[in-house]
Amino acid sequence: MLQTSDKRMEQKSNTALIILAFFSIYVIWGSTYLLNKIAVQELPPFMLAGFRFFIAGVLIFIICRIMGISLKVTLKQLKNTVIAGFLFLAYGNGVVVWALQYIDSGFAALEISAQPLVVLLLMRILQGKKIQAMSLVGIAFGFVGIYLLISQKSIISQENSAFGMLLVFTAMVSWAFGSLFVGKAVLPNNFFVNTGYQMIMGGLLMLIVSVTTGEEWSSPILWSSKVQLAMMLLIVLGSIVAFTSFNYLLRNVSPEKVATSTYVNPIIALLLGWYFLNEQITKQSVFAAIILLTGVYFINSKKKLAIYSRFKKN
């Protein structure tokens, strides 16, 4: 009886962690589009992203040392963190920050909403995994919502928006591939250590790109107060908390479910843009948000999948 009780407690604890982790990648990551948009108006994109992730990685290592967590990894684990750091951070995030010079933060988040479809297609192509019918229904809802959002002229009328959209698309594919890679790769067992290595490696890669492309660096002391605050939030919440949650979820739930964060992130980005930057939210945007959340429900709902399975048997 005692063992059964312990197992139930452990299951409840894991469920609570999964819920909190989803909250992090849904809400916190949704806010990073606004924060990056604020910072990139003053800082060069690769220097911004590289500084953010390198400092976050160093802070994670310091926390690990204080907690007595070993930072030792094998050569294979180190190699895989370099690959993951490139796919997720150096390219997957750095290029999005670059694109924010040309498109609105909400628009970038909206385009990345297509990531769950990319993940499902990559799983089909690379792993031969069958795409569940209800997942396709969820993806369909998602794309309807995305179309309703991006078809508004006020969003796509900016100069160089096509180039920015292309950059975001390539970054989205990189992130989707990284999600599949991390789900199978041999990485540090501790999620905190794993996150720290990925951030340091990804941050270093972006800083190298920043130097080689001739970006002009500046001291944090010289940054405006709003950029300093944005960077602090990006490092602590957007990097340490949310990315650790992301790595945790990739090992505990399926990649396509983790990718549903890209449906919720645009809604958060739009609301924050409206509140802090006075961006307009139309009735069409509200309706699209409802459609997007419906898509998230269908992809995440095991109950709906079970109902569909019984229907097929009958």
Q: What is the pLDDT of residue 200?
A: 96
Mean pLDDT of 170-199: 90
Q: How confident is the model at residue 171 (pLDDT cuts 50, 70, 90)?
A: very high
- What is the token pair recorded at 73? 């990894």
| Pair of tokens at residue 143 | 């794309």
Q: Which of 223-232, 247-256, 266-275, 292-301 is least confident?
A: 292-301
Question: How far is 143 from 263, CA to CA, in rounded Å?
Answer: 10
pLDDT value for 156: 67
Q: How high is the pLDDT of residue 128? A: 79
Which range is least confidently modeled, 7-16, 143-152, 170-179, 278-287? Answer: 7-16
How far apart, in whole angstroms, are the C-alpha atoms of residue 229 and residue 252? 33
- Whether 209 contacts 51, CB under 8 Å: no
Is the pLDDT at 306 greater than 60, yes or no? Answer: no
In SS3 terms, the chain reads as: CHHHHHHHHHHHHHHHHHHHHHHHHHHHHHHHHHHHHHHHCCCCHHHHHHHHHHHHHHHHHHHHHHHCCCCCCCHHHHHHHHHHHHHHHHHCCHHHHHHCCCCCHHHHHHHHCCHHHHHHHHHHHHHCCCCCHHHHHHHHHHHHHHHHHHCCHHHHCCCCHHHHHHHHHHHHHHHHHHHHHHHHCCCCCCHHHHHHHHHHHHHHHHHHHHHHCCCCCCCHHHCCHHHHHHHHHHHHHHHHHHHHHHHHHHCCCCHHHHCCHHHHHHHHHHHHHHHHHCCCCCHHHHHHHHHHHHHHHHHHCHHHHHHHHHHHHC
pLDDT of 311 over the 50 cut: no
Of 5-14, 150-159, 255-264, which one has max mean pLDDT?
A: 255-264
Instruction: Write down the pLDDT at residue 99.
Output: 93
Average of per-residue pLDDT across 216-241 = 94
Q: Which band of pLDDT confidence, cut at 50, 70 and 90, is reported for residue 305?
A: very low
Residue 300: pLDDT over 70? no
The residue with tokens 């802070």 is 59
pLDDT at 211 over 90: yes
pLDDT of residue 21: 92
Over residues 241-253, the pLDDT tens digits come to 998 888 888 888 8
Q: Residue 308: which pLDDT band, with cuts at 50, 70 and 90?
A: very low
Rounded to whole angstroms, what are the CA distances from 19 to 118, 197, 252? Answer: 24, 25, 12
- Mean pLDDT, residues 253-271 taken together: 81
Both tokens of 256, joined, read: 């396509």
**For residue 301, is pLDDT > 70?**
no
**Position 11: which residue type?**
Q
- Across the chain, what does the average pLDDT equal? 84
pLDDT, tens digit (0-9, with 9 covering 90-100), for 36-74: 999 999 999 999 999 999 999 999 999 999 999 999 999
Task: Return the pLDDT at 78.
Answer: 95
N-to-C CA span, the chain? 39
pLDDT at 155: 64
**More confident site: 93 or 139:** 93
Q: Could you tell me which residue, 3 or 156, shows the higher pLDDT?
A: 156
pLDDT grade, residue 164 (50/70/90)? confident
Looking at residue 1, what is its pLDDT? 53
Residue 217, pLDDT score:
94
Average pLDDT over residues 157-163: 76
What would the mean pLDDT of 123-139 be, rounded to a whole number? 80
Is residue 143's pLDDT more than 70?
A: yes
Sign of CA dihedral 59, 191, 239, 44: positive
Amino acid at 162: A
